[in-house]
Amino acid sequence: MPTLRTNGIDLHYETSGQGETVLFLHGLGSRSDDWQLQTPVFAANYRVLTADMRGHGRTSKPPGPYSVPMMADDVLGLLDALGIASAHVVGLSMGGMIAFQLAADHPERVRSLVIVNSGPELVAHSLADRLRILQRLLLARLFNPERTAHFLGPRLFPKPEQAQLRQMFIAQWAQNDPAAYRAAMRALVGWSVLDRVGGIACPTLVLSGDRDYTPAATKAAYVAMMPNARLVVIEDSGHATPIDQAERFNDCVLAFLAGVDAQGGA
């Protein structure tokens, strides 16, 4: 299991395949293993790079505070250490926020962006927003990761036929370090690069599950601010689109990357 030292932490990563690099960034409370439905598919045509973010999986879990720019610097250090000049970056939820930060700060390192059920800020603009954020913070403070997983699992995978996915999610989520999870969550609240998205010129695909926490209309609003972005809504999908609609997700992203490569990234 390869690990490298970057930005003061030991960061776990894995690679497979050959070609242009596609970097997958996982969400809050997740880990690189959760891209298992993508890795073999994309490795047929690309070099797939996955990593456990700070405070997650097999990467170091130092005391907080964490920040999104700090996590983006972790990723930058990974790319530098592996000699990767630029990559296609796919980010889910928290991973999408890190991808936005990386694209805003270091546009030359991002060949294209795929943002999945995420956005360029986590700022409460309504009472419903504030309540949702406070609920997650309160859950993390009052309950251990296993109890939190039992609360979130049925919301991520609500269908009877998703029972196995639900149980896998609960088992994986229960492994989170409580303090590191809280530090990562606090890093997201109040973060924003919304005022900079108009300067992100690389080809960008924004994917939204039709049952995601954040309405597609909210994503459409920031997509309209970007010069080279488009939004695709995937039906019958919640927040974990790469898992609950893996085949549709893979087909959509592969088609997008093929188009970017055909145009030379322009």
Q: What is the pLDDT of residues 27-58, one digit of tens each?
A: 999 999 999 999 999 999 999 999 999 999 99
Token duo for residue 134: 């406070």
Query: What's the confidence (pLDDT) of residue 264?
Result: 73
pLDDT digits (tens, 9 = 90+) for 164-223: 999 999 999 999 999 999 999 999 999 999 999 999 999 999 999 999 989 999 999 999
Rounded distance, CA 249 to CA 168, Å?
Answer: 20
Mean pLDDT value across the chain? 94
Query: What's the confidence (pLDDT) of residue 263?
Result: 84
State the amino acid at position 89 in one-letter form. Answer: V
Per domain, the residue ranges of the chain are 3-122+192-262
| β-pair partners for 208 | 233
pLDDT of 265 over the 90 cut: no
75 with 110: CB under 8 angstroms? Answer: no
Rounded distance, CA 221 to CA 83, Å?
Answer: 35
pLDDT digits (tens, 9 = 90+) for 128-153: 888 888 887 887 788 888 888 888 89
- Domain with residues 3-122+192-262, CATH architecture: 3-Layer(aba) Sandwich (3.40)
45 with 11: CB under 8 angstroms? Answer: no
Q: Compute how many other C-beta atoms are within 10 angstroms of the C-beta atom of residue 210.
A: 14
CB neighbour list of residue 27: distance below 8 Å, 6 or more residues apart: 34, 92, 93, 94, 95
In SS3 terms, the chain reads as CCEEEECCEEEEEEEECCCCEEEEECCCCCCHHHHCCCHHHHCCCCEEEEECCCCCCCCCCCCCCCCHHHHHHHHHHHHHHCCCCCEEEEEECHHHHHHHHHHHHCHHHEEEEEEECCCCECCCCCHHHHHHHHHHHHHHHHCCHHHHHHHHHHHHCCCHHHHHHHHHHHHHHCCCCHHHHHHHHHHHCCCECHHHHHHCCCCEEEEEECCCCCCHHHHHHHHCCCCCEEEEEECCCCCCHHHHCHHHHHHHHHHHHHHHHHCCCC
pLDDT digits (tens, 9 = 90+) for 55-86: 999 999 999 999 999 999 999 999 999 999 99
Token duo for residue 237: 């999908």
Query: What's the confidence (pLDDT) of residue 210?
Result: 97
Query: What's the confidence (pLDDT) of residue 106?
Result: 98
| Residues above pLDDT 70, as percent of the chain | 99
Query: What's the confidence (pLDDT) of residue 1?
Result: 67
